[in-house]
Amino acid sequence: MSNVHNIQNLKIPEDFEIYSMISSPETRNQGYRMLVQKFKEKLYWHIRRLVQHHDDADDVLQNTFMKVVRNIEGFQQQSSLYTWMFRIATNESLNFIKNKKTRTTIEMDDMVYFKSAGESLMDSAKILNLLQIAIQNLPEKQRLVFNMRYYDEMSYKDMSEITETSEGALKASYHHAVKKIEDFLKSNVE
């Protein structure tokens, strides 16, 4: 199929415009700038939640965009540009985590609890800290599914396309992740 026919299959009008610009040598650079501008922040935060550290997230984001640029002509237009790029960002993040030699684990002993005199409830910042620790302690697949559903508000259908996993399995992973997080929070909030 020709690129002209394929780009007509794009589901989002902005995707069509960006892809059309990238496909033309005269507007290619402008198209890439639009692509980065449109998706950089969303992809950064997705990656950041997976790899945790800003510098690592920046590196993975840069690798993601390099892979997008190298493979844009192979984009099949069976999904939106965002879904395709999200899959690349997810794979790059998971590869980064797997290749990282020293994985840091957060120990409960390292956490500092600040309690006001007489108060037994933790404030929202402390609960958010516990939430992040709970998420980090999830198995990799559950952490990925939880982040995509909870933070990115992604549909199971889109998640299925990105992870190449059935919607039923994703729903089960999300349910197990939520249960583990709830149990962790209940056992650590006094």
Domain ranges of the chain: 3-99, 108-188
Q: Find, among 41, 75, 80, 78, the residue nearest to 61 by Cα.
A: 41
DSSP structural state of residue 122 = P
Give residue-wise pLDDT tens across range 35-54.
Answer: 999 999 999 999 998 888 88
Burial 19-45 (b: 16+ CB within 10 A, else e): bbbbbeeeeeeebbebbeebbeeebbe
The pTM assigned to this predicted structure is: 0.63
Tokens of residue 5, six digits: 């026919």
Angstrom distance (rounded) from CA 42 to CA 28: 22
**In CATH terms, is domain 108-188 a member of 1.10.10.10?**
yes
For residues 80, 85, 87 and 90, what is the CA-based torsion angle, rounded to 10 degrees? -150
> Where is pLDDT greater, at 113 or 146?
146
What is the CATH number assigned to the segment(s) 3-99? Answer: 1.10.1740.10
120-121-125 Cα angle (round to 5): 135
- Per CATH, 3-99 and 108-188 having the same topology is answered no
Tokens of 135: 């998420």
Of 99-103, 149-153, 156-160, minimum mean pLDDT range: 99-103
Rounded mean pLDDT of 138-146?
90
d(CA 90, CA 92): 5
The first and second tokens of residue 131, run together, are 């939430």
Asked if 127 contacts 185 with a C-beta cutoff of 8 angstroms, the reply is yes
Instruction: Provide the residue type at 35 as one letter.
Output: L
pLDDT in tens, 48-103: 988 888 889 999 999 999 898 888 888 877 778 888 899 999 999 888 888 774 44
* pLDDT confidence of residue 2: 39
Cα–Cα dist 138/133, whole Å: 9
Return the pLDDT at 11: 54
